[in-house]
């Protein structure tokens, strides 16, 4: 490692070993199992990366073909998560970190007091607001603590984008009530699919994703941050065929797949949907234990 490399964002140890280089970023692997980019992108790099083209099909960015067209599929994929939270802990105050256009909060329904945080001003400006959902534009770490406490805090496809995931979990802990539920999903780099693909795994996408957890390294970080994991499962999701080929063209970088991806975006058949479960994305539910780091258990949940 070079002296400019940052320590592991999950466990804080230095001395991670080089794994590979991708999109101009060196990716390191820590002995705790976590992989991460050796450096963080600058604020300017991030702002440029998350421009509106990220949500509208820039093939260099592995974002979305067209976020608004894909939203119905994303919403369908939220079904099991919505059901789980409606059942346990049930309606209350919820904060969705990285809420995009508020689709998940919309699905939870008006029985909840719904708040969201979204970093992209451009994305918020491009969409109509959802009635009953209040969205705060900015960086989660700067979110006013007075707005808490919340009963549920959700981070869908968010933790691996956040430059300092340990700080984000401390922030989540501070915003939740004791016994409150933290729900998140993110890739598992120790999954069979990720190990088989190596550096070509579709979730190794710096600077979109900056940290790549394993189930073990995420559980350890959650426990150090004052949470107890109560459920971890591997759910699939509904995607339009056009997105399958768009992402395949990113993984395989062969002109044929780029051509196929473009055709599927134009054709009606691209809007057909497929349920894909590669068992490489974990959905984790954890409860806040008070105080942080204590082994005392919170009220039973799940």
- 32: contact with Zn ion by CB under 5 A: yes
**Given candidates 25, 28, 34, 97, which one binds Zn ion under the rule CB under 5 A?**
34
**Shortest CB 34 distance to Zn ion, Å:** 5
- Shortest gap between Cβ of 127 and Zn ion (angstroms)? 37
Q: Which is nearer to Zn ion, 32 or 229 (CB)?
A: 32
Nearer to Zn ion, 32 or 80 (CB): 32
Task: Please identify which residue in 1, 11, 75, 229 interacts with Zn ion, judged by CB under 5 A.
Answer: 11
Whether the Cβ atoms of residue 21 and residue 27 lie closer than 8 Å to each other: yes
Count of chain residues binding Zn ion (CB under 5 A): 7
Query: Interface with Zn ion by CB under 5 A: which range of 25-33, 123-131, 143-151, 182-190?
Result: 25-33
> Contact region for Zn ion (CB under 5 A) — 32-40, 77-85, 125-133, 255-263?
32-40
If one asks whether residue 155 binds Zn ion (CB under 5 A), the answer comes out as: no
Q: Does 30 bind Zn ion (CB under 5 A)?
A: yes
| Cβ proximity to Zn ion, 8 vs 182, nearer residue | 8
Chain residues that interact with Zn ion, rule: CB under 5 A = 8, 10-11, 13, 30, 32, 34
């Amino acid at each position: 490692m070079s002296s400019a490399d940052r320590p592991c964002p999950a466990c804080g140890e230095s001395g991670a070993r080089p794994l590979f280089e991708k999109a101009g970023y060196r990716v390191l692997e820590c002995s705790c199992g976590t992989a991460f980019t050796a450096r963080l992108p600058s604020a300017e790099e991030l702002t440029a990366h998350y421009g509106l083209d990220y949500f509208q099909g820039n093939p260099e960015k592995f974002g979305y073909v067209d976020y608004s067209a894909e939203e119905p599929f994303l919403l369908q994929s939220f079904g099991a998560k919505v059901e789980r939270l409606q059942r346990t802990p049930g309606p209350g105050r919820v904060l969705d970190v990285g809420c995009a256009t508020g689709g998940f909060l919309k699905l939870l329904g008006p029985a909840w007091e719904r708040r969201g945080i979204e970093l992209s001003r451009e994305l918020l400006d491009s969409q109509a607001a959802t009635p009953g959902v209040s969205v705060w534009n900015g960086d989660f770490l700067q979110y006013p603590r007075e707005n808490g406490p919340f009963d549920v805090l959700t981070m869908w496809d968010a933790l691996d984008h956040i430059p300092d995931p340990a700080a984000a979990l401390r922030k989540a802990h501070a915003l939740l009530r004791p016994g409150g539920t933290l729900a998140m999903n993110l890739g598992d780099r120790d999954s069979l699919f990720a190990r088989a693909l190596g550096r070509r795994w579709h979730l190794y996408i710096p600077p979109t994703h900056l940290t790549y957890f394993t189930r073990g390294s995420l559980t350890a970080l959650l426990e150090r941050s004052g949470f107890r994991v109560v459920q971890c499962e591997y759910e699939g999701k509904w995607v339009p065929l056009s997105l399958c080929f768009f992402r395949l063209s990113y993984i395989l970088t062969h002109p044929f797949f780029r051509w196929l991806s473009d055709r599927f975006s134009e054709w009606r058949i691209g809007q057909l949907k497929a349920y894909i479960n590669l068992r490489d994305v974990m959905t984790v539910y954890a409860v806040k234990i008070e105080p942080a780091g204590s082994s005392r258990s919170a009220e039973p949940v799940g």
